[in-house]
Amino acid sequence: MGLVTPIGSEIDTFWKHVTTGVSGIERITRFDTQHCNCKIAAEVKDFDPSLYMDFKEVQRNDRFAHFAVAAAKKALADASFSVSQAQHPGRVGVVIGSGIGGMETIRVQTGKFHHSETHKVSPFMIPSLICNIASGIVAIEIGARGPNFATATACAAGSHAIGEAFQLLYLGKADVMIAGGSEAALSELSFAGFCAMRAMSMAFNDDPTHACRPFDAKRDGFVMGEGAGVVVLETLEHALSRNARIYAELISYAASCDAYHITSPDPEGEGLTICLQNLLESAHCAPEEVDYINAHGTSTVYNDKCETLAIKKVFGKAAYDIPISSTKSMTGHLLGAAGGIEAIVAIQSICSGIIPPTMNYEYPDPECDLNYIPHKAIRKDVRIALSENLAFGGQNAALLFRRFEGI
């Protein structure tokens, strides 16, 4: 596992912060928010891409690719694996998702174009802004010649990437897959767009750490974040052959679409319901066997309500007993990177027996009445953990992890 987040970019630090309620949400420092109604975000601070890439490659690539390379190299180090050890580099692949791709590149290069400086537009503009470049750069950096592509499904991209990598392993197309999500869309342009949609929290500019309040009655929108989360997946045979430390098994992946609206979730939660039903059926897992759900929990009025409704439909009476939390209350919403980082949270809950809290759940919403683990982490034996993500376009993705108990 490897990550870059607003609350820590080493697994131990991140896990300590996410289980003790440390928030990475602050007033924005990267650009002037004078003309924006929202003035807060969860920024990654003190990140030096040159620790992970050659200086020239840093200059040629967007920040979202920097994050992806860093998270991937951290994950490989954590896995004690390098492609040079593989018998067949063509059986080591990469799938890194991103919702937006090189947003800062788009902003900077568009500015040059509109200031009649077309001769200054970078020849690296196109490759640095396209979503698939993170996967490509990671492969170049580590020498992986197996399946390589990106998932570009907005806020579900990280989960879709891990799920599609899982499918490739299952189909025998690869032995090892490096998978997850990366996003670095914190720029004036994207911020202006989300502000225009009135999608972000605007009521807590003077109290940033309380702005992201998933499932709370006073929630008023999401808080943008940035970062990356990447995992190393491999077949059991390959992992055992090299004596790998196995954190958990990925036992199921499901995807669906609301087919309802470009931005709003289906008010009846039908798309997510289908996704979660398929996820459990594929794993032959009964609802009451799930010990923890890391929810999408964006802190938007409609998402949290519809997600709660879908969980109730799928899990029935068990829905009220299963611990559910949204770690976005601390990290902010990392868009395409959310699924990668939240998969790591689900895995860590299995390894540690600790379930992180949902911060800022203070005012109960009658339509969001499940066990959201407010304020403080709890200890629980977690054998099976679920991570789910929803996205603009109506896309849904879910992953199911289980404690590895040997063969």
- Tell me the catalytic residues: 155, 296, 333
Q: Tell me the helix, strand and coil percentages in the chain, rounded to 5.
A: 40, 20, 40
Rounded to an integer, what distance in angstroms lies between the CA atom of residue 304 and that of residue 59? Answer: 39
Gap between the terminal Cα atoms of the chain: 22
Helix (H), strand (E) at residue 399: strand 395-402
Bin 58: left if φ > 0, else alpha if -120 < ψ < 50, else beta: alpha
Rounded to an integer, what distance in angstroms lies between the CA atom of residue 348 and that of residue 343? Answer: 9
φ/ψ of residue 151, rounded to 5: -105, 135
SS3 state of residue 200: strand
Question: Is the C-alpha dihedral spanning 38, 41, 46, 52 positive or negative?
Answer: negative
The three state secondary structure string of 68-131 is HHHHHHHHHHHCCCCHHHCCCHHHEEEEEECCCCCHHHHHHHHHHHHCCCHHHCCCCHHHHHCC
Q: Are 76 and 177 in contact (CB under 8 A)?
A: no
R_g over Cα of the chain: 20
Note the residue count of the chain. 407
Q: Are 374 and 358 in contact (CB under 8 A)?
A: yes
Tokens of 271: 């798309």
Q: Residue 358 gets which letter from DSSP?
A: B
Q: Please state whether beta strands 92-97 and 324-325 pair in parallel, antiparallel, or not at all (unpaired).
A: unpaired
Tell me the DSSP string of 137-183.
HHHHHHT--S-EE----GGGHHHHHHHHHHHHHHTTS-SEEEEEEEE
How many CA within 13 A on the CB side of residue 51?
A: 12
